[in-house]
Homo-oligomer: A and B are copies of this chain.
Amino acid sequence: MIDLAVEIGTIRMSNPAMLASGVMDETGEALVRMMEAGAGAVVTKSIGVAAHDGHPNPCLVELPHGYVNAMGLPNPGMDRFAEELRTIMPAPAPVIASVYAADEEGFVAVAAAMEDAGAAGVEMNLSCPHAAGFGMELGTDPARVRSMVEAVASSVSVPVMAKLTPNTADITAIGRAVEDGGGDAVVAINTLRAMCISPEFARPVLSNRYGGLSGPAVRPVGVRAVYDLRRELSIPIVGVGGIETWRDAAEYIMAGASCFQVGSAVGRRGPEVFREITGGLQAFMESHGYAGMKDMEAAVHD
């Protein structure tokens, strides 16, 4: 059996399928369940300094090919969430804490609290498309991204990843800012800024009006982003967006991802999706003669 173990800095994963932020990751028990389902690592819900209810319902629209969501970053705040994390430590797989904040100070505070609580890494959410003041506004300005990443990377000892928004003309400029700021990896992509309107009720369905598109619909956009980033960066890339099958994961790996995250598919296919993907990937690699994931990337890029 081909070994799918992979490392991002000091984060050691038995397989490259990580749980994406925002999905089944608000409670300790949810995180453990996803580990038991086969996730190689889990990323938590994006955690802020203070507790936050998120947007009122409706905050999700189901589409045949994905979701549009505007959860609005609900989270119990860093202190309560640190408690939650402690209850599952030592965990059977690495926990990466997604953190968000409006400024450097906030990012640093949350990242530190998460490291203290046992997080094996930090994922900076620079890209949430539907929370005013947080997220995307930060994530489209390379200078701010660089200084934000610098601040966090120099204040924690665990690897720091930064999650990029696809809602920009050139994602590689942001990726480079992360690399220049000392980030250990980039994660691409977050959701695409989107809206659904109900004709019968003549209004946007989401309470926040705007939301983020995820699921199979965005996969070709995510694959493209990873491919572009691979050609510009030397730090690892974590691919995310519409991965539901081993084929989808293989596309991302060939595009240049060292590992990948699964979000929407946990709802669309169920938590079994982790084992289905990694099993299928191993079978593909064996039948096509790939000894490791880097060979798959090399087959496309070299």
Residues of A participating in the B interface, judged by any CB pair closer than 8 Å = 61, 63-66, 68, 140, 167-169, 192-197, 199-200, 202-204, 209-211, 213, 216-218, 220-221, 223-224, 227, 247, 250-251, 254-255, 284, 288, 296, 299-300
Asked whether A223 and B202 contact (CB < 8 A) given A167-B169, A168-B168, the answer is no
Bound form: Cα–Cα A209–B255 in Å: 11
| Seed contacts A200-B288, A202-B299, A209-B227; 14 additional CB < 8 Å A-B pairs | A61-B220, A64-B216, A65-B217, A68-B220, A167-B169, A192-B192, A193-B224, A194-B221, A194-B224, A196-B220, A196-B251, A199-B247, A199-B284, A204-B227
A195 contacts B224, CB within 8 Å?
A: yes
Bound form: Cα–Cα A210–B199 in Å: 34
Q: Which B-chain residue is minimally distant from A296 (CB atoms)?
A: B202
A251 contacts B300, CB within 8 Å?
A: no
B250 contacts A221, CB within 8 Å?
A: no
A254 contacts B224, CB within 8 Å?
A: no
Interface of A (DSSP majority class): mixed
Q: Which B-chain residue is minimally distant from A217 (CB atoms)?
A: B217
B193 contacts A221, CB within 8 Å?
A: yes
Contacts of A197 in B (CB 8 A): 223, 227, 250-251, 254-255, 300
B217 contacts A218, CB within 8 Å?
A: yes
Bound form: Cα–Cα A19–B170 in Å: 30
Minimum CB–CB distance from A11 to chain B (whole Å) comes to 26
Bound form: Cα–Cα A206–B224 in Å: 12
5 tightest CB-CB pairs across the interface, nearest first? A194-B220, A65-B65, A217-B217, A202-B299, A199-B250
Minimum CB–CB distance from A147 to chain B (whole Å) comes to 19
A223 contacts B199, CB within 8 Å?
A: no
Q: Which B-chain residue is minimally distant from A65 (CB atoms)?
A: B65
